[in-house]
Amino acid sequence: MTKPHILVNLPEGFYRTASLRPVFARLGRLGTVRKRSHNTPEEIAADLAWADFVLMWSWPVLGESLLDQAPRLRYVAHLDVSQAGARTALARGLPVSVARAAFSPAVSEMALTLILACLRKVSDYHAAMRDGREKWVASFPDNIDPMERELADRTVGIVGFGRIGRGLAALLAPFGCRVLAVDPFVPAAAVRKAGARRVTLEACLRSSDIVVLAAASNPGTRHLIGRRQVAALRKGSLLVNVARAALVDTDALIRRLRKGDMAAAIDVFNQEPLPSDHPLRRLPNAYLTPHRAGGTMGSVNRILTWLIDDTEAFVAGRPLRYPLTEAMTPALDA
């Protein structure tokens, strides 16, 4: 049997990463591998005409025009997948594997990291040490910052209780936090099993010391945290967004942050990179990270390993472990 042609289309840095070489070697044992780093449909079209299988990042979208140029294509493995591309491939009967869930542990961990860093004012103390403005423990308790708090026994509301939300709930368990979950689509039994209590969004905002956004982004969740919800956040609360910027009315959040009675930790923005003159950069109670929540080598290794597991399963005629189904596609624009 002729070995399949396997097109791999990933950012160039993936191929230079030593820890990923054994993973790519597995693909080489399955078929003839062509490694590319294309960014546009025009660049990838010729290679798609050659490929039996394709393993790629989320660009370019495998729309109708590209798939028309891929007569040999029998299987698609995506690290992340656009809704349009997924539906197009599925409509043509192509098996699709997607390993988006491999990001979840890293994102849950980042949410906890941001919570702890903000509550304990880590970045403020780091900046003070760099600038020589720090106050040492010898002056305790005269220099207590009323905004520095412990996580233990806090109420944490998690908006979106999928893998990321449930992963965060597990990480919070040793701190003795009360966890509130906002997610009408997760079965009540799963919420209880995770040690959380299901509440409405309004109750969550009203009752939580910390609110973490971990929901998918779709037309129904755009500005889920809008002007009214931003106003409802408790004084002294912390809003953490490791999901998507579209969940929050950024202008409303900026207005609230300017009052100085709450804080926010934000990893995702409507425009990325964030413009140098963006008002969020100038707010001392806005803690910003450059969309790094899922960006770990652990995530990359999990994603590639899972997708190659599925590629091997496809070659062997076994069921896929991470198949994309039509029922899953509405949640893929997160």
Task: Decide if 245 contacts 219 (C-beta within 8 A).
Answer: no
The active-site residue out of 154, 244, 256, 302 is: 244
Range of the domain at 276: 104-288
Residues of the chain with pLDDT under 50: 332-334
Known catalytic residue: 278? no
What residues pair up with 263 in beta bridges, in sequence order? 238
Lookup: tokens for 36: 């590319």
Residue 266's beta-bridge partner residues? 241, 288
H or E element in which residue 265 lies = strand 263-266
Instruction: Please give the structure tokens belonging to residue 90.
Output: 């599925």
**49-65 core/surface letters (b: 16 or more CB in 10 A; e: else):** eebbbbbbbebbbbeee
Query: In whole angstroms, what is the distance from residue 45 CA to residue 68 CA?
Result: 9
210 and 79 fall within a common domain: no
> What are the tokens at 276?
């140098």
What pLDDT was estimated at residue 334?
Answer: 43
Same domain? For 168 and 223 the reply is yes
244 catalytic residue (yes or no): yes
Q: Is 236 in the same domain as 261?
A: yes
* 20 and 73 together in one domain: yes
CATH number at residue 14: 3.40.50.720
Assess contact for 244 and 217: CB atoms under 8 A. Answer: yes
Over residues 241-266, the pLDDT tens digits come to 999 999 999 999 999 999 999 999 99
Task: Say if residue 269 is in the same domain as residue 240.
Answer: yes
Domain shared by 150 and 231, yes or no: yes
From 92, 227, 234, 291, the catalytic residue: 291
Cβ burial, residue 238 (10 Å; 0-12/13-18/19+): buried
pLDDT of residue 89: 83
Over residues 107-139, the pLDDT tens digits come to 999 999 999 999 999 999 999 999 999 888 766
Total-model pTM: 0.90
End-to-end CA separation in angstroms for the chain: 40
Same domain membership, residue 61 and residue 122: no
What are the angstrom distances between the C-alpha of 310 and each of 4, 87, 158, 303, 328? 15, 19, 32, 11, 18
Indicate which residue of 272, 281, 292, 321 is catalytic. Answer: 272
The reply to whether 55 and 81 lie within a common domain is yes
pLDDT of residue 181: 98
Could you tell me if residue 86 is left (phi over 0), alpha (psi between -120 and 50 degrees) or otherwise beta? alpha
Cβ burial, residue 277 (10 Å; 0-12/13-18/19+): exposed
Answer yes or no: are the C-beta atoms of 287 and 265 closer than 8 Å.
Answer: yes
Residue carrying the six token digits 């496809």: 314
| Order of strands, sheet of 178-182, starting from the edge strand that comes earlier in the sequence | 196-198, 178-182, 155-159, 210-213, 238-241, 263-266, 286-288
Are the C-beta atoms of residues 281 and 306 closer than 8 Å to each other? Answer: no
Instruction: Count how many domains the chain has.
Output: 2
> Active site includes 74?
no
Helix runs in 59-121, H state only: 64-68, 83-91, 104-119
Residue 228: other Cβ atoms inside 10 A? 12
Whether 18 and 134 share a structural domain: no
The predicted structure's pLDDT at residue 38:
85
Together in a domain, 208 and 115: yes
Q: Based on C-alpha coordinates, what's the Rg of the chain?
A: 22
Whether residues 198 and 308 fall in one domain: no
Same domain, 266 and 156: yes
